[in-house]
């Protein structure tokens, strides 16, 4: 499989699933070309609703549709849709409406558009809501599986997708399991946990580290909520060192979730890699390097952490 953005894989998966399930509808706020639901809208014009640049109304309207039996995919950039947090909190989460909230353009990887378009606090926000799982797939295969799962899952879901292409990381035949993590590379010295766009970089970092004699176990944490505590504790118990890497604020995201779980169940030395402060315009590669999320940066942080 060639590299593909998870937003693109989402658009294709939705088109396929919609052919078999007429409950699926899409809601957009003038970004359907970017969230990749435009093809769905062309194929199913009566099931695609572009509500203009009015995300709060889109979220609430999605809740109402869900309460009549539809399965609405409510789509925008992660920052814009999660920015309507209070509507998500009451109309979707508390109402327990079967709405699939899709936040694309996650993280600093969107690059040139700069901070105002970057979803950087969305995991932290959504993780705090009862009743809403948070899922961020790492490649095309996992995205397709996660979307199919979301259709079947009764209840709200938050799906976090990328603008940038993602290299394939999941093995052929991989099956997404809700609440399950995937060990992509076994190791003994340190546990490297990535999610979405950072998973491939964790694998690359593990290769760099291997050349120096450091054995890193790499985990794809597609399920940020709920965490796969069993996999986390097994790996942390084995390596004794945990590093998380995410294209999200360093506060409240995957690293925060892992720290909370380990702190209670198995206190383990750890490092959280993520975005500090606001993002900024620039090329994605340069931004990842600046925030230490590229393979060299991740490997460097691990080296320092392990005192190697």
Partner 1 sequence: MADARLETIARECRVQIIRMLTHAGSGHPGGSLSVIDVLTALFFGRLRHDPRRPDWPDRDRVVLSKGHAVPALYAVMAKTGYFPESRLVTLRKLGSPLQGHPDRTALPGIEAATGSLGQGLSISLGLALGLRLRQAPARVYCILGDGEIQEGQVWEAAMAAPKLGGPAHGLDNLTVVLDYNKIQLDNFVAKILDLEPVLAKWQAFGWSVLEIDGHDFEQINKALDQAEATVGPVIVVAHTVKGRGVSFMENDPEWHGKAPKPAEAIRAIRDILGVPEAEWSGHLARHPETKALADELAALGAK
User: Which residues contribute to the site for partner 1 (CB under 8 A)?
Assistant: 46, 49, 51-52, 54, 56-70, 72, 86-87, 89-91, 94-97
Min dist. Cβ of residue 11 to partner 1 (A): 22
Q: Could you give the 3-state DSSP secondary structure of residue 282?
A: coil
Q: Give the sign of the dihedral formed by CA 80, CA 86, CA 91, CA 95.
A: positive
Q: Which is nearer to partner 1, 61 or 101 (CB)?
A: 61
Question: What is the token pair recorded at 220?
Answer: 């794809």
Q: Which is nearer to partner 1, 3 or 54 (CB)?
A: 54
Q: Give, for 66, the enclosing helix (H) or strand (E).
A: helix 55-67
Q: Which is nearer to partner 1, 68 or 307 (CB)?
A: 68
Q: Which is nearer to partner 1, 62 or 107 (CB)?
A: 62
Q: What distance in Å separates the CA atoms of residue 279 and residue 263, rounded to the nearest whole number?
A: 29
Min dist. Cβ of residue 27 to partner 1 (A): 9
Min dist. Cβ of residue 67 to partner 1 (A): 6
- How many of the other CB atoms lie within 10 Å of CB of 63? 24
Min dist. Cβ of residue 150 to partner 1 (A): 18
Question: What is the token pair recorded at 95?
Answer: 């109402």
Q: Give the sign of the dihedral formed by CA 205, CA 284, CA 292, CA 116.
A: negative
Taking each helix axis from N to C terminus, what angle separates 199-211 and 295-305, rounded to the nearest 10 degrees? 60
Min dist. Cβ of residue 171 to partner 1 (A): 39
Q: What distance in Å separates the CA atoms of residue 76 and residue 73, rounded to the nearest whole number?
A: 10
Name the active-site residue from 16, 55, 121, 204.
55
* Whether 246 is catalytic: no
In this structure, are residues 110 and 164 in contact, taking their beta carbons and an 8 Å threshold?
Answer: yes
Min dist. Cβ of residue 66 to partner 1 (A): 7
Produce one character per residue of 235-270: b if its CB has 16 or more CB atoms within 10 Å, e if not: bbeebebbbbbbbbbbebbbbbbbbebbeeeeebeb
Q: Which is nearer to partner 1, 130 or 213 (CB)?
A: 130
Q: Which is nearer to partner 1, 66 or 250 (CB)?
A: 66
Min dist. Cβ of residue 153 to partner 1 (A): 17
**Exposed (0-12), middle (13-18) or buried (19+): which is 130, by Cβ within 10 Å?**
exposed
Q: Could you give the 3-state DSSP secondary structure of residue 116?
A: helix
Write the CB contacts of 148 (distance below 8 Å, at least 6 apart in sequence).
13, 17, 176
Q: Which is nearer to partner 1, 54 or 265 (CB)?
A: 54
Q: Which residues on adjacent β-strands are paired with residue 50?
A: 28
Q: What distance in Å separates the CA atoms of residue 97 and residue 250, rounded to the nearest whole number?
A: 30
Catalytic residue numbers, as ranges: 55
């Amino acid at each position: 499989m060639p590299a593909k953005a998870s937003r693109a894989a989402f658009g294709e998966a939705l088109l396929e699933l919609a052919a078999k399930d007429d409950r699926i509808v899409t809601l957009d706020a003038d970004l359907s070309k970017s969230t990749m639901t435009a093809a769905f809208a062309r194929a199913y014009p009566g099931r695609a609703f572009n509500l203009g640049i009015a995300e709060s109304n889109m979220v609430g309207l999605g809740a109402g549709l869900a309460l009549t039996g539809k399965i609405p995919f409510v789509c925008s950039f992660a920052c814009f849709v999660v920015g309507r947090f209070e509507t998500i909190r009451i109309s979707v989460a508390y109402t327990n409406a079967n709405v699939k909230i899709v936040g694309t353009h996650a993280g600093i990887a969107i690059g040139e558009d700069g901070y105002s378009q970057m979803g950087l606090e969305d995991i932290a926000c959504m993780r705090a809501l009862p009743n809403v799982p948070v899922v961020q797939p790492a490649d095309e295969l996992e995205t397709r599986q996660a979307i199919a799962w979301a259709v079947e899952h009764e209840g709200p879901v938050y799906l976090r997708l990328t603008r940038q292409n993602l290299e394939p990381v999941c093995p052929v035949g991989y099956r997404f399991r809700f609440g399950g993590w995937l060990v992509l590379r076994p190791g003994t010295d340190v546990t490297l946990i990535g999610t979405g766009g950072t998973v491939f970089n964790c694998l690359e970092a593990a290769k760099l580290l291997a050349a120096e004699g450091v054995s890193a176990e790499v985990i794809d944490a597609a399920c940020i909520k709920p965490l796969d505590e069993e996999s986390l504790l097994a790996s942390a118990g084995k390596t004794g060192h945990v590093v998380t890497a995410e294209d999200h604020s360093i506060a409240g995201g995957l690293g925060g979730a892992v720290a909370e779980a380990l702190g209670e169940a198995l206190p383990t030395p750890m490092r959280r890699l993520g975005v500090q402060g606001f993002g900024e315009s620039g090329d994605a590669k340069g931004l990842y390097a600046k925030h230490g999320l590229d393979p060299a940066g991740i490997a460097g942080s691990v080296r320092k952490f392990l005192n190697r």
